[in-house]
Chain A
């Protein structure tokens, strides 16, 4: 009797058991993955560079350093003395400031593109998958049609017809980025639709759009987040591609693609840093996103392991 009492007292004194949510489990799994954590660290560093780089740079990204102009291969080398830490570009503009500015543009395009795809694609796919039948057929056929169009050409067309601007770039990228997401969300919704909790919601008289919003979409989030992380790099690649062709952001603004293109054009003149600096940031960021994406997939999608 006494013993049971003691145990009961012990139990009362012990901290209440805290349940572990699925998200907490996923977080723990993610942080156990060394490659993913390293990727995350790299991404944080790149983001910090984009945010604070322009503040600590000694030069503005659009100002020409007249003292190096004409002798960029010698005077424009990366050096600590004249403040051009990454050297200058062919026009004598500070590459550190330009890379920081280009990083801002590229990251922004990547993230906005992924956001559009998450919002539009998830909702579109969830609606198609939830209603099924003819609605599903028509909606997914539209996706099929849009997917079989070489959208890069359409995007270039858009940029030429309506003028080059940041907004147009976002619209163009947003137009195509949601297609894959819609397919993935639909596939997941098809299996979720038959789960008991959806049936229960239907039985208690919840409307279809409330079910999609309250019950379907939250359950899609894991897959959606994983895919969105993997989508950011491909958006960055698209933007760089467009900038590489000279159709992206307008000078003096720049982005990774434009910087890589400029650097590649000067390759013959012994100014390799112009190519290597933006290339370095481009490559480590893409690696970062891929590793984080893989880590998230392992963490959030346990059946995939």
Chain B
């Protein structure tokens, strides 16, 4: 097991390096200086600014500094637009927010989706099953950026139950709509996947054996069927995580929650390369780490995987 984890870690490091280098090259080749303004800037001032941010150094030196900064000090560099803040400040402001509704959405998607899928499979071809299938088909065509306006329309404008935006330090009224908007489509996918795999597991021989020796259905499901049925769900967690990170951009914009996504899009529109690069690298690193955890979890649960 330990060698497996080490091997996976060794793969994760080059992935991160490729991500950093790729992002950096993209930014380096970007036309225009981040300091260029409409009126133009005197060459001497520009040279000074570039020297201050180290942009006058050769490419290799710049990228080396950037990587060393991230690895040794967790420093993602300065923002080129907000002169008094660096990327770490922005991330420090936005990340707790993103993390809060992100974790809730993830929990809701996995727990509700998994339960729904497994109940649907156990009660195959009953109203519960049809309901679950209906929900998951319906949610497929409602990605978060479509669901968010609909939710606001219904719960804020028509019913007036919940606020349509803001964060207020994460009070529960402000968290509910973002979590529903972000989690629904993933919940539906998880429900579909767990239903299909549970149905397959329930028809397999070892379940028939378990039932034949007289175990009650509850015990058969929890002790025997659940674990193998959840394997496909676990392998979906990685992509779901990536999707949720991406979706958080929509949530931040739509509900003005003030998470990282807001800074990302703002920096994209401002051409604030430092912030864009920092957020891309940070989220990429998170994704790689999460995939690592999922891989380890999978190997731990699935006895067929040799490591």
Contact = CB atoms under 8 A, between A and B. Distances in A.
Interface of A: 141, 144-145, 148-150, 152-154, 156-162, 233, 237, 240-241, 244-247, 257, 260-261, 263-264, 267-268, 272, 275, 279, 282-283, 286-287, 290
Given A141-B11, A150-B284, A264-B254, 11 more contacts: A148-B242, A148-B287, A150-B246, A153-B283, A160-B269, A241-B143, A244-B145, A247-B265, A260-B145, A264-B152, A282-B141
24 contacts: A144-B11, A145-B15, A148-B288, A150-B284, A154-B22, A156-B268, A156-B276, A157-B280, A159-B268, A160-B268, A160-B276, A240-B143, A240-B145, A241-B145, A241-B246, A245-B250, A247-B268, A264-B254, A267-B149, A272-B153, A275-B153, A279-B150, A286-B140, A290-B141
Interface of B: 11, 14-15, 18-19, 22-23, 26-27, 29-31, 137, 140-143, 145-146, 148-150, 152-153, 157, 238, 242, 245-246, 249-250, 253-254, 264-265, 268-269, 271, 276, 279-280, 283-284, 287-288, 291
Nearest to A279: B146
B141 A286 contact: yes
Nearest to B247: A241
B287 A149 contact: yes
A264 B284 contact: no
Main SS of chain A's interface residues? helix
Contacts of A240: 143, 145-146
Q: Which of A148, A237, A282 has the most CB of B within 10 A?
A: A148
Contact of B141 (A160, A260, A287): A287
A242 to B, nearest CB: 10
A157 B246 CA distance: 13
Contacts of B31: 161
B29 A161 contact: yes
B165 to A, nearest CB: 12
Nearest to B15: A145
Contacts of A148: 15, 238, 242, 284, 287-288, 291
Nearest to B242: A150
Say whether chain B's binding surface is mostly helix, strand, loop, or mixed.
Answer: helix
Nearest to A246: B269
A254 to B, nearest CB: 15
Given A260-B149, A275-B149, A279-B146, A153 B264 contact: yes
B23 A237 contact: no
Nearest to A244: B145
A257 B149 CA distance: 12
Contacts of B157: 267-268
Contacts of B276: 153, 156-157, 160
A57 B11 CA distance: 56
A154 B277 CA distance: 9
A158 B26 contact: yes
Contacts of B26: 157-158, 161
B184 to A, nearest CB: 14
Nearest to A288: B141
A159 B30 CA distance: 11
A35 to B, nearest CB: 10
Given A160-B268, A279-B146, A241 B250 contact: yes
Given A257-B145, A267-B153, A283-B141, A153 B238 contact: no
Contacts of B254: 264
Given A145-B18, A267-B149, A150 B283 contact: yes
Contact of A161 (B27, B143, B145, B269): B27
Among B145, B249, B250, chain A packs the most CB atoms within 10 A around the CB of B145
Contact of A245 (B29, B141, B253): B253
A43 B284 CA distance: 36
A126 B297 CA distance: 30
Nearest to B269: A246
A161 B280 CA distance: 14
Contacts of A261: 145
Contacts of B142: 283
Contacts of B22: 154
A150 B287 contact: yes
A282 B149 CA distance: 14
B263 to A, nearest CB: 12
Contacts of A272: 153
Nearest to A290: B140
Contacts of B280: 150, 153-154, 157
A275 B11 CA distance: 45
B90 to A, nearest CB: 15
B23 A157 contact: yes
A227 B145 CA distance: 24
A149 B19 contact: yes
A152 to B, nearest CB: 4
